[in-house]
């Protein structure tokens, strides 16, 4: 019987990898995890935690500045940007320390370096601890990296991603955000709330093109009226050049080429899987979209699994952790646990938040599925009056037999308010079960009850 250095090797110390490592460690087998950058991956070090800390700061400042109608005197309100950066880094360091503590407590061997397959069971670890190690079973959880947008001049122009933009030492006076998806909208609002003049260019006909059209329309109106943001839709950035005055950005709208000069340019143009692992040496099949897996998360090599953003699909910490857990169960017991993505929530962390669960109206239309819909504006519930906020809505979709197909909520705290819809979708509950459940009268979740009630009345 062949001997291996480890029973299980996990490549990638992010959400999926850490979830799998801790689960596999409970089997009392030898487990190793390899990470080339920071422990915790994008969740702890570059995306979720730093973004949550930064957006909490900017949203709080913007609300305070806009609070005169509530009796808040904001004429002399200021912020200290270095202090906010220090708080963000403190939150990040605490999370990384917690990740390392949990792995060490589980007796997982932590290896720092770049992993590269040199065989079906053998992995070379370059830099860090070095050497070649072998594993009986292996999980690939290497996440994603920024996608090259193909803009001329980027190689000689200082530019940022939504993650690196948080580390700009001072707030730029003018910002161009390329890309109007979730990350683009979040980083655009962050700088706008802190006083930057922001221009956003999105190649699609509306920002947040993945969501239903009402979302992009309402958010565009809010961004322009509240922050004076300039939104350029159906616009493609083609080139950039640096000069003494800043970055000159050239873009095409319709058949016209235009230019705008800004102090900082941020590329929120999407991501691509981290596949530079020597997968060919291991016989693992993949495409540019990600590693190919079965519903059990097995790759083309039965002893090698993959989880998280590297297998394509939504970039989501929640989904990555879930997949890591499923992969661990299947690796440990040869079980055939299948992934079930019903009920996962997609969140855009603007203020108001945008939370989507299940299918959108666009999804259903493309699939030719029949459905009923109800759209309720925020003004229908008391929370909108109490908080003086009405820029948003809930849209709920259901089948003709009363099952919830999906929902989109645009409101403060939308991610929490929509959670019950996720439970209903995952467990196949009906509209009447939400409509008949008491909700807090002054909470935003009252929107969910009203939408379910209105939709249940429709035939």
Asked if pLDDT for residue 75 goes beyond 80, the answer is no
Q: At what angle do helices 182-193 and 213-227 cross, to 10 degrees?
A: 20
Name the average pLDDT for the chain.
94
Banded pLDDT at 73 (limits 50, 70, 90): confident
Banded pLDDT at 155 (limits 50, 70, 90): very high
In this structure, are residues 418 and 409 in contact, taking their beta carbons and an 8 Å threshold? yes
Residue 137: per-residue pLDDT: 97
Give me the long-range contacts of 75-84 (CB less than 8 A, separation at least 24).
Answer: 79/194, 81/170, 81/171, 81/194, 84/54, 84/57
Asked if pLDDT for residue 226 goes beyond 80, the answer is yes
**Token duo for residue 308:** 């998280």
Alpha-carbon distance of 400 to 206, in angstroms, equals 30
Give me the mean pLDDT over the 190-211 stretch. Answer: 97
Q: What is the pLDDT of residues 291-335, one digit of tens each?
A: 999 999 999 999 999 999 999 767 789 999 999 999 999 999 987
In this structure, are residues 172 and 262 in contact, taking their beta carbons and an 8 Å threshold? yes
Asked if pLDDT for residue 170 goes beyond 70, the answer is yes
Residue 245: per-residue pLDDT: 84
Q: What is the pLDDT of residues 387-406, one digit of tens each?
A: 999 999 999 999 988 999 99
Instruction: List, in order, residues 6 or more apart from 76 with CB less than 8 Å away.
Output: none
Handedness of CA 444, 445, 451, 457 (dihedral sign): negative
Phi then psi dihedrals of residue 378, to 5 deg: -60, -30
Angle at 441 between CA 436 and CA 446, to 5 degrees: 55
In this structure, are residues 260 and 249 in contact, taking their beta carbons and an 8 Å threshold? yes
Phi then psi dihedrals of residue 327, to 5 deg: -60, -40
Banded pLDDT at 122 (limits 50, 70, 90): very high
Asked if pLDDT for residue 29 goes beyond 70, the answer is yes
Residue 335: per-residue pLDDT: 78
In this structure, are residues 355 and 345 in contact, taking their beta carbons and an 8 Å threshold? yes
Residue reference for tokens 């929509």:
418
Q: Where are the alpha helices (DSSP H) in 147-232?
A: 162-165, 182-193, 213-227
Asked if pLDDT for residue 128 goes beyond 70, the answer is no
Alpha-carbon distance of 235 to 376, in angstroms, equals 31
Alpha-carbon distance of 32 to 1, in angstroms, equals 21
Poorest-confidence range of 97-101, 129-133, 437-441? Answer: 129-133
Q: Tell which residue, 397, 443, 455, has the closest CA to residue 417.
A: 443
Residue 130: per-residue pLDDT: 66
Give me the mean pLDDT over the 91-115 stretch. Answer: 96
Instruction: List, in order, residues 6 or more apart from 366 with CB less than 8 Å away.
Output: none
In this structure, are residues 257 and 268 in contact, taking their beta carbons and an 8 Å threshold? no
Residue 1: per-residue pLDDT: 58
Give me the mean pLDDT over the 274-287 stretch. Answer: 95
Most distant CA atoms of the chain, gap in Å: 75
Asked if pLDDT for residue 131 goes beyond 90, the answer is no
The beta strands (E) that lie in 61-219 are given as 109-112, 114-117, 122-126, 132-140, 144-146, 174-178, 197-201
Q: What is the pLDDT of residues 401-448, one digit of tens each?
A: 899 999 999 999 999 999 999 999 999 998 999 999 999 999 999 999
Banded pLDDT at 459 (limits 50, 70, 90): low
Residue 373: per-residue pLDDT: 95
**Eight-state DSSP code of residue 254:** T
The beta strands (E) that lie in 158-302 are given as 174-178, 197-201, 230-232, 235-243, 246-253, 256-262, 264-267, 271-273, 286-287, 290-291
Give me the mean pLDDT over the 362-368 stretch. Answer: 93
User: Residue 411: helix, strand or coil by DSSP?
Assistant: strand
Residue 69: per-residue pLDDT: 83
Residue 222: per-residue pLDDT: 97
Mind listing the domains of the chain with CATH numbers?
Answer: 6-146+272-333 (3.50.50.60), 154-269 (3.50.50.60), 345-457 (3.30.390.30)
Length of the chain counted residue by residue = 459
Q: What is the pLDDT of residues 231-278, one digit of tens each?
A: 999 999 999 999 888 999 999 998 899 999 999 999 999 899 999 999
In this structure, are residues 1 and 115 in contact, taking their beta carbons and an 8 Å threshold? no
Alpha-carbon distance of 228 to 221, in angstroms, equals 10
Alpha-carbon distance of 223 to 242, in angstroms, equals 27
Asked if pLDDT for residue 172 goes beyond 90, the answer is yes
Asked if pLDDT for residue 2 goes beyond 90, the answer is no
Asked if pLDDT for residue 102 goes beyond 90, the answer is yes
């Amino acid at each position: 019987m062949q001997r291996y250095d480890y029973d299980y090797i996990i490549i990638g110390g992010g959400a999926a990898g850490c979830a799998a490592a801790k689960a596999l460690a409970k089997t009392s087998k030898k487990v190793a995890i390899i990470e080339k950058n920071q422990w915790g991956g994008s969740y702890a070090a570059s995306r979720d935690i730093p973004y949550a800390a930064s957006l909490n700061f900017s949203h709080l400042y913007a609300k305070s500045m806009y609070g005169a109608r509530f009796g808040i005197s904001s004429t002399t309100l200021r912020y200290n940007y270095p202090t906010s950066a220090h708080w963000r880094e403190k939150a990040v360091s605490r999370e990384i320390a917690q990740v390392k503590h949990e792995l060490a407590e589980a007796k997982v061997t932590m290896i720092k370096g770049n992993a590269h397959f040199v065989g079906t069971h053998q992995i070379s670890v370059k830099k860090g601890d070095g050497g070649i190690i072998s594993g009986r079973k292996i999980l690939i959880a290497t996440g994603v990296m920024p996608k090259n947008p193909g803009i001329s001049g980027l190689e000689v122009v200082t530019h940022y991603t939504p993650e690196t933009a948080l580390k700009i030492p001072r707030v730029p006076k003018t910002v161009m955000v390329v890309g109007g998806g979730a990350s683009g909208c979040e980083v655009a609002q962050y700088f706008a709330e802190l006083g930057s003049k922001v221009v956003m260019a999105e190649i699609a006909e509306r920002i947040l093109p993945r969501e239903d059209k009402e979302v992009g329309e309402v958010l565009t109106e809010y961004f322009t009226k509240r922050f004076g943001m300039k939104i350029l839709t159906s616009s493609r950035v083609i080139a950039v050049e640096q000069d003494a005055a800043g970055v000159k950005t050239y873009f095409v709208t319709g058949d016209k080429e235009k230019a705008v000069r800004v102090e900082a340019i941020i590329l929120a143009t999407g991501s691509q899987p981290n596949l530079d692992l020597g997968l060919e040496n291991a016989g693992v099949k993949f495409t540019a979209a990600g590693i190919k897996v079965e519903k059990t998360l097995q790759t083309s090599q039965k002893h090698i699994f993959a989880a998280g953003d590297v297998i394509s699909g939504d970039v989501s910490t929640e989904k990555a952790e879930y997949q890591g857990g499923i992969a661990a169960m299947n690796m440990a017991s040869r079980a055939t646990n299948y992934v079930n993505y019903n009920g996962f929530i997609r969140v855009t962390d603007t203020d108001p938040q945008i939370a989507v669960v299940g299918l959108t109206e666009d999804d259903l239309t493309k699939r030719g599925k029949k459905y009923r819909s109800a759209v309720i504006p925020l003004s229908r519930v008391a929370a909108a009056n109490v908080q003086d906020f009405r820029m948003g809505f809930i849209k709920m979709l259901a089948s003709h037999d009363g099952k919830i197909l999906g929902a989109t909520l645009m409101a403060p705290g939308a991610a929490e308010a929509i959670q019950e819809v996720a439970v209903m979708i995952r467990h196949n509950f009906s509209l009447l079960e939400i409509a008949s459940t008491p909700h807090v009268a002054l909470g935003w979740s009252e929107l969910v009850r009203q939408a379910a009630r209105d939709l249940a009345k429709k035939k």
